[in-house]
Structures are given as structure tokens and as C-alpha cells.
Amino acid sequence: MWERESESDPADVPWFYVGGVSDVLSRNEDEVGAAELLAGLCLATDLGRGFPLEHGLHSTLVAARLCERLHVDERIAAETYYGCLLFYVGCTADAEIAADLFEDGMLGRYFDPVIFGGPAETLGGVVRALAGPGPPHVQVGRVVRRLPRAVAGHRRHMAALCEVGRMLSDRMGVGPDVPNLFIGFTERWDGRGEPGQLRGEQLPLPLRIMQVARDATYQALVGGPAHAARIMTQRAGHAFDPEVVAALISDAEAVLRTPGEGSAWADVLAAEPGPPLRLGTAAIDRALAAMGDFADLVSPYLVGHSSGVAELAAAAGREGGLSDDLVRDLWRAASIHDVGRVAVPAAVWQKPGPLTTDERERVRLHAYHGEQSREKR
């Protein structure tokens, strides 16, 4: 890892926090750390899931601490680290279907806390999310209309999460083992996950650690470390590997501690297991193109938008006589220019009629969301 030269050292500022990538890349001779790109994409998935920014980075630190307590080898620790950064990379899959079924914010309020709960608890969360706000008769009407579609599409949605997660992570330059974790992404320790083909130690250990880290960090966000420890204890042996849960609850305060007032960015980069993985020219291009595709998946009307903008911008650069290096950086910047669009609900992007004042403001601010984390430095 690099050492900080000063508080304003450009090498210490991740590409996601700035307007482009050329400064970082030129300092590294067109080579960049995989962890830096993955952490940037992790910030984007926070936006897409409606989590506080750096929630995913904090989860990755929790996963790294669990690896230490479980005394896993370097390979397992690395797969867990990269996989945790990519955990929600499939979150834009079928976003338009979720937007049609759930009112804005309802999934995060009612379903996210019970994703890893028991069947009755999970179904209750889905029903409350489907009901949305409003008087009881309106809520009941929504549930009656929407629940059959939600149940019918559930398995297809779970499959899409796994497949999109595997495909996008495969393009991020972390080797084949991490993308393969997404094959069992929706499975559970007790075998009651989707599609219900894996259980217990059939689930890869990195995936078991990632699941506990992600849910425990979320529960700590909801009610603090003690609440998280209580929920994890209830879910041990059901959704989660009891051994991994035991490693967490043995000292939940320490495992779940936050970076404090500072940013988690530097801590996450420093936590990368083994020699830092570096990406060269072709791998950087593939990773940035994958990030653009991730953003475009928020609506079927936007599929191919980022890659199209990138090709058009690069062609304009060549026509304008820019050097090959500048054209390359222009293509890369254009590939990720709209990553902040995932912070805007899919229902807004798909609305067939005129947007309200609030909706127009959300769209206008999507570029801001793509770089709002700069303020956390």
C-alpha cells in the first residue's frame, strides 16, 4: 500500500471521490489497486441500497476482523474481503420490478432488517413493505394486489441477484473464486435459502463470514452492537454458521466498532489481505465498464447508456486530436459518469408521465450522489 505524503496527496484520494481517474492512474503508470476500485463500487452499492455511505466499507472491516478471530488462511481472508466489498453488486437486478411492487423506501424500512430472519419474520417484512404508507384500507388493497406477484417473482428475483452479482464481479479482476461465491449468495446455513441446494459447510466459508458481517453491521446500525449481538444469536444455526456468529458475539463491541469520525476508506484499503492485488490497463477497463453497466441496470430503458456515452466521448476525443492516453481516460471517465443514478429510485427513471418537483430534484442531484462521499474525507 502507498504511504500518505500529505493530507492533500492525490494518491490518497480514491477515484470515486474525484471527477476522473487520470491523476491516480498516471501516478501508477496505468495500474491501480483492485481494492480501490472495489471499494468505490461498494460506495455505489450503498447508494443503490439506500444505506448510509460507507456502510459497505464498515461491513468489510467487520468481515476482516471475523477472519482474524476465526484464524482463516490468507486465501479465505482475501475472498471474504473482496466478496464483502461486492456483496450487493447485484442489487440493481430487477430494480424495475421492485419499483413496481414497493413504495419508495419501504423495502429498506421493513424488509432489510429481516432478510436473514425466519420464514414468518421475512414474510411479515415483505407484507409490511408491500402495504406501504397510508390508511389501513389502502394498505390492505396494495397487499392483495401485489402479494401474488411478489411471491411468483421471488425465486426469479433471487436467481437474478445471484447471476448479475456473479457476472459483474467476474469483470472486477479478482479471479474466479470470488464470483463463484454468488452461486450460493441467497443460500442459508439451515438449507432454507434459495434455491435450497446448499446448507451447512456446503456454503463456502467466505460467504458464511460475509453474510454474518453484512447483517451484523446492519443490525448495529439499527440498534447498536448489543442489538446486533442479540439478533445474531437468534439467527445462529438458522441463517448463519454458529461458529462465525460465536466469533462475533464473543466481543461484539470490538468487532463492530466504527472508524469513528474519520472515513473508513483508508482502513479498508489497509485491511486487504496479502500482497495488494493490482490491475493493469485491460483489467481497469473491464472493471470500469462493469461499474457503468451496474448503474444502467437500475432501469431497462438505460441498459447500454454508459457504454454508449463512453464510446461517443472517446470518438469525439480522437476526432479532436487528443492523445491516446487522454482518449483512454476520457472513455473511462464516461463509463462511470452516471454511477450516481443508482441513488434515484427506479420508479422515477421509469415514470411514464411528467416528474414532480421532488422527482426532478432527485434526478438533477444524481451526479452529486456520485461524488458526495468527497465530503467525508
Domain containing residue 346: CATH number: 1.10.3210.10
- Indicate whether 2 belongs to any domain: no
The pLDDT tens digits along the chain (377 residues) read 222 233 333 334 333 333 333 333 444 458 899 999 999 999 999 988 889 989 999 999 999 999 999 999 999 999 999 999 999 998 887 777 777 788 877 888 888 899 899 888 988 988 998 888 999 999 999 999 988 888 877 777 778 888 889 999 999 999 999 999 999 999 999 999 988 999 999 999 999 999 999 999 999 999 999 999 999 999 999 999 999 999 999 999 999 998 877 789 999 999 999 999 999 999 999 999 999 999 998 888 888 999 999 999 999 999 999 999 999 999 999 999 999 888 888 888 888 889 899 888 888 888 877 776 444 43
For residue 62, the surrounding DSSP H or E stretch is helix 55-70
- Indicate whether 82 belongs to any domain: yes
Residue 313 has φ and ψ, to the nearest 5°, of: -65, -40
For residue 330, the surrounding DSSP H or E stretch is helix 324-335
| Residue 94, domain extent | 10-376
- Indicate whether 190 belongs to any domain: yes
Separation between Cα atoms, residue 101 and residue 120, nearest integer Å: 20
Q: Where are the alpha helices (DSSP H) in 195-277?
A: 205-235, 242-249, 252-255, 265-270
Number of domains in the chain: 1
Residue type, 61: L
CA quadruple 118, 86, 203, 279: dihedral, nearest 10: 180
Separation between Cα atoms, residue 86 and residue 248, nearest integer Å: 21
- Indicate whether 4 belongs to any domain: no
Q: What is the pTM of this model?
A: 0.86
- Indicate whether 3 belongs to any domain: no
**pLDDT computed for residue 58 by the predictor:** 96
Which of 121, 93, 120, 125 lies closest to 109, judged by CA?
Answer: 125
- Indicate whether 1 belongs to any domain: no
- Indicate whether 5 belongs to any domain: no
- Indicate whether 351 belongs to any domain: yes
> CB-hemisphere CA count at 13 Å for 274?
15
